Amino acid sequence: MGAFSRQKFFQELAHGCLLPTAQQGLEQVWQLLVICLLCRLLWMLGLPSFVKHLGTVAGGFYTLYLFFELHMIWVVLLSLLCYLFLFLCRHSTIRGTFLSITVLIYLLLGELHMMDTTNWHKMRGSQMVVAMKAISLAFDLDRGVVTSVPSPIEFMGYIYFVGTVIFGPWISFNSYMEALEGRKLSFSWLFKVSLSWIKSQICLVISNCVAPYLFPYFIPVYGDKLLRSKKKRKIRGTAAKWLLAYENTMSFHFSNYFVGYLSETTTTLAGGGFTEEKENLKWDMTVSKPLSVEFPRSMVEVVTSWNLPMSRFLHTYVFKSALKFGTFSAIMVTYTASALLHGLSFHLGAVLISLGFITYIEHVLRKRLAVIFNACILSKKCQPTCTHRNKKGLWVYMINIVFSALAIMHLTYLGSVFNSSVDYMEEDEDDITHHTIQKWSELSWTSHWVTFGCWISYRLIL
């Protein structure tokens, strides 16, 4: 949508952006939704388990072909490699570590040598889901959570579960086996599917039609001064640069929430994503918590709320395994593993590694301040039974608000590198590197300097 007056913009918004965006979103995924529903109905028929697994594999294969066509063979090769490794090392007790290394080597070789970067990046989400499932299964076998190596059809059913094979999220092998039993259709199930779908479409519309035009039109901070193309307003002073960075960040955030809610929809529609206590069944899968990201208490809260299943995966299988090397080392290993799973993109790696330093320094600084002031100012909200003397004083709220403001600043700074122009640079890593450095230079490397200042403050009061 070009540059309009505010009145003209809102007149054009509905048929120029809102309706086309919602229509395209439905056109791209309606077949996936139908296959997920068919999988759900198949699991309810009381058929033998191997038939259910075969149906799931068939649905997963067809879905992969719909989205990636013959390039899906690279996802299939990764799954076959993982099962071959698990079978050959079935008597080992360190399968998780070795399979993690094997998977990362495959992903790196695939991106560098096996095929062109553009098509490889299109499959990055599915590759990540397959890799995370296989790695988690290997660690669960090592720890006795899963007692024996699954049969080939069980493994493939888990890997190609149609509810997660395209958009995720990661689920454990035991969760898949529980879902395979086939729960009855219910109003709560239908409500969860419908609500997640509606939320996904709202986030898609905000990402495409609201966030990119937030300050010139929806919140006219400078009146008509910013009603120009972004090329013309990118050099209109520090404040305008931060506003533009926030627009980019918000658009990126809501595109992530769109995928998160869509993955909730597909997983629940296919019969997964529930918890069961005694006879109380709850369809309560949560992938993202947008409010905890947009209005954060801390950056620690942001990284856990961004993608809850992936956060659990990284904490359970990476962080805990690396904790023997120390907390800081475990945090950096975790973020490095996340960066490698996301692929060899400079801007993703730079953001994730920066997040590692930011979250660690914020955590230790607030932990130290909480001890000094005996107050509830930790990165995570204290429990009602905590022993801190100062819980609700005005100055306690003010300190937490300051750290919340810093977190929003960090998010704006880090998210400024994600905009639509990056999508056209995927084949040229030098362009992405230059783009990332340029964006952070325009914002005077503020987040990195603030993080360094927080580290100095922490060392001084240690």
HSE-CB for 407 with a 13 A CA cutoff: 24
User: Could you identify the residue written with the tokens 């962080």?
Assistant: 319
| Alpha carbons 418 and 348: distance in angstroms, whole number | 9
The answer to whether 414 touches 324, Cβ cutoff 8 Å, is no
Residues 6+ apart with CB under 8 A from 256: 288, 306, 307
Q: Are 189 and 283 in contact (CB under 8 A)?
A: yes
Catalytic residue among 253, 342, 347, 435: 342
β-bridge partners, 375: 390
Q: Length of the chain in residues, anyone?
A: 462
91 catalytic per annotation: no
Task: With beta carbons less than 8 A apart as the criterion, state whether 299 and 234 touch.
Answer: no
Q: What string of H, E and C letters represents the secondary structure of the chain? A: CCCCCHHHHHHHHHHHHHHHHHHHHHHHHHHHHHHHHHHHHHHCCCCCHHHHHHHHHHHHHHHHHHHHHHHHHHHHHHHHHHHHHHHHCCCCCCHHHHHHHHHHHHHHHHHHHHCCHHHHHHCHHHHHHHHHHHHHHHHHHHHCCCCCCCCHHHHHHHHCCCCCCCCCCCCCHHHHHHHHCCCCCCHHHHHHHHHHHHHHHHHHHHHHHHHHHHHHHHCCCCHHHHCCCHHHHCCCCHHHHHHHHHHHHHHHHHHHHHHHHHHHHHHHHCCCCCEEECCEEECCCCCCCHHHHHCCCCHHHHHHHHCHHHHHHHHHHHHHHHHHHCHHHHHHHHHHHHHHHHCCCHHHHHHHHHHHHHHHHHHHHHHHHHHHHCECCCCCCCCCCCCCCECCCHHHHHHHHHHHHHHHHHHHHHHCCCCHHHHCCCCCHHHHHHHHHHHHHHCCCHHHHHHHHHHHHHHHHC
Structural contact between residues 288 and 256, judged by C-beta atoms closer than 8 angstroms: yes
Looking at residue 208, its amino acid is: N
Q: Active-site positions?
A: 342
